[in-house]
Amino acid sequence: MEVIKTLILTPEEIPVAAELLAQGRVVAFPTETVYGLGANALEPQAVEAIFKAKGRPQDNPLIVHASEESQVEAFVKDIPPEARRLMKQFWPGPLTLVLSKTDLVPAVVTAGLDTVAVRVPNHPVALELLRQTGFPLAAPSANVSGRPSPTRAEHVYADLEGKIPAILDGGETGWGVESTVLDCTVWPFRLLRPGGVTLEELRALVPVEYGKSPGEAEKTPRSPGMKYQHYAPMATVYLVTGKRAAAKILESSEPYMQKKEKVGVMTWNERAHLYPGLTVLSMGSEGDLQALAHNLFHLLREADLLGIKVLFIEGVSEDHLGLAIMNRLRKAANHREIKT
């Protein structure tokens, strides 16, 4: 692939980013969840460039970002009243709704599906960029496919420098985990990916199913992206849950330590003292799921920079934001989970 110069733009330079997007180029931009790699969602060639830069499989559809609910009207149809209620309640915000698409949306955006995933992001830079371009932006996370999602401009730079023309730097993102994806074309609605808006919050308003429904095979996931490995650092990752996690981690780390391999552990501040000899990556103050979500992908990238070969991660409870966190951790661990 041709190597190009990657500009780092400040929020004052949003017009430069908008101009690049108008020319059919791709630009990375901050949202309240993670950094997205955006292109004009209505231009197939522009969208192709996203897949190329990320190395993203063509059968993994993209989320379309809009500046407001009214912009969404043109490219979705048959919006159920319950989905409207969710838009009113959670937009702008980290909730993506899968709805029936109109012909305006090119097949490359949706991987040929007749549905499209849409959301209005809650970030001043993203919203201003969407207003200035005037068209919706298809945008997956701005990382190389399979790597942890970027929560800082420098993460995007590390992955995509030389491959994209610009990164709009809006500082660290807020939530740190991607949006919740909810399929609104089935009833009850179905949670495809847990995220910033929690299952508990959704269920307070509408009936939502989550988990494998009877007969639903792994090989035909409703959300195509779910079948790919994600968020993986170079280290071999083990997710360890249960009351005896610390003892199990110490015991399991022995053989690696003997081989002089660097062993890391992701744990709460208050528990760091349990792991003498291991490289501790702090998840924050015990039980602070918001802080953990915010730091999660950064910590996975830190593990690589520190040269950690094996990384043990303490699991958290799957309530509220914990559901999204554990979903990402299981993928980072490639489902290597030790229950104690």
Selected from 16, 144, 226, 234, the binder of ligand AMP by CB under 6 A is: 226
Structure tokens that stand for 232 in this block: 């993986």
Cα–Cα distance measured from residue 155 to residue 272, given in angstroms and rounded to the nearest whole number: 26
Of residues 30, 196, 225, 233, which one binds ligand AMP by CB under 6 A? 225
Closest approach of ligand AMP to the CB of residue 64, in Å: 8
Q: How far is the CB of 185 from ligand AMP (least distance, A)?
A: 8
CA dihedral 207, 61, 91, 298 (to 10 degrees): 100
Q: How many residues does the chain have?
A: 340
Could you tell me the CA-to-CA distances from 289 to 53, 206, 306 in Å, in that order?
Answer: 32, 24, 24
Using CB under 6 A as the criterion, what x/- string covers residues 62-91 for binding ligand AMP?
Answer: xx----------------------------
Choose, by CB under 6 A, the member of 224, 233, 284, 315 that binds ligand AMP: 224
Q: Which stretch binds ligand AMP (CB under 6 A): 5-13, 38-46, 111-119, 154-162?
A: 111-119
Alpha carbon 45 to its chain centroid, in Å, reads: 24
Taking CB positions, which residue lies at the least distance from ligand AMP?
Answer: 225
Strand locations in the chain (E): 7-9, 27-29, 36-40, 63-65, 76-77, 95-101, 115-119, 137-138, 166-168, 180-183, 189-193, 208-209, 236-241, 263-267, 279-282, 310-314, 337-339
Phi, psi of 97 (to 5 degrees): -110, 130
Pairing, β 263-267 against β 279-282: parallel
Partners of residue 238 on adjacent β-strands: 312
Binding residue (CB under 5 A) for Mg ion from 33, 110, 141, 151? 141
- Least distance in Å: CB of 117 to Mg ion? 12
CB of 225 to ligand AMP, least distance (A): 2
Q: From 2-10, 141-149, 250-258, 264-272, give the range in contact with Mg ion by CB under 5 A.
A: 141-149
Size of site (CB under 6 A) for ligand AMP = 21
253 binds Mg ion (CB under 5 A): no
CA distance 340 to 324: 21
Our CB check for ligand AMP shows the closer of 176 and 284 to be 176
Q: Name the site residues for Mg ion (rule: CB under 5 A).
A: 141
Q: Which residues bind ligand AMP (CB under 6 A)?
A: 60-63, 98, 110, 113, 115-117, 140-141, 178, 181, 192-193, 222-226
